[in-house]
Amino acid sequence: MTTLPTSTQKKLGLVIDLDTCVGCHACVISCKGWNTENYGAPLSDQDAYGANPSGTFLNRVHSYEVQPTEGAAQLIHFPKSCLHCEDAPCVTVCPTGASYKRVEDGIVLVNESDCIGCGLCAWACPYGAREMDAEEKVMKKCTLCVDRIYNENLPEEDREPACVRTCPAGARHFGDFADPDSNVSRLTAERGGVDLMPEQGTKPVNKYLPPRPKDAMPEIDVLAPYLEPVVAEPKGFISWLDKALEKL
């Protein structure tokens, strides 16, 4: 079995703002594209244009209608991928050492050449963040785009995960949680970022920012400026037409 490092130099991960995510799936598509064309074996699809399509995705977005105890129901878009847990059970159950957590940055990865496709890591992960690639017969998971974030051939602004770079709503943020002054640490502190399923004891690095109560937001009628009369009394041709119509 694989052992976890006692500590890591960095804790790289994501902050996902559930109040901002619009469920557009841009992160899903960019993740699929980048990881198919670059890191490791391509993410395969089966019967992509048939009656029962399936495929391997490292990032998915689920949508739920949530009814709070008070206030109106809300539609919450919930992106999900590997959370790069500090106490990652997917690593410790791996019989070949294919799954491992890096000491230098805390990223959890899979050495595909050592993976035998036994699926134990998928059983151990409480978040369902691992997927068996049906064509390659190896386990796949989010890599935090490790081949992007350290790639000095890319412009500085592109050295972040593809999902973060692509998100049109700015709902995804990348940084080092070991640095209390980083953008992700400040966001987590300011907005009350939470762990996903903390009762599992996995200590996920990724955090979620809860949606704000919608009842606290002012009601805005976007059509109101167009519905107000331009003048109190019509003049000119409009005035004549108004009087002519009254006589009919």
Q: What is the per-residue pLDDT across 192-209, written as a single tens digit (0 to 9) for each?
A: 999 999 999 999 999 999
Is residue 104 within 8 Å of 113, Cβ to Cβ?
no
Q: What is the torsional sign of CA 95, 98, 101, 104?
A: positive
* Distance (Å, whole) CA 126 – CA 116: 21
pLDDT at 231: 63
146-159: average pLDDT = 94
Structure tokens at 211: 């949606």
* Distance (Å, whole) CA 203 – CA 205: 6
116-133: average pLDDT = 95
* Distance (Å, whole) CA 79 – CA 23: 8
Helices of type H across 38-151: 89-92, 120-124, 146-149
* Distance (Å, whole) CA 2 – CA 8: 16
Structure tokens at 189: 């502190």
* Distance (Å, whole) CA 42 – CA 36: 4
What residues contact residue 33 under an 8 Å CB cut-off, 6+ apart? 162
Q: Mean pLDDT across the chain, nearest whole number?
A: 90
- Give the global pTM: 0.82
Is residue 32 within 8 Å of 127, Cβ to Cβ?
no
Residue 235, pLDDT > 90, answer: no
Q: Give the type of residue at 91.
A: V
* Distance (Å, whole) CA 244 – CA 39: 75
pLDDT at 238: 73
**Model confidence pLDDT, tens digit, residues 62-85:** 999 988 887 778 899 999 999 999
Cα separation values, 62 from 78, 112, 140, 238, Å: 5, 27, 19, 53
Choose among 131, 154, 170: nearest CA to 14: 170
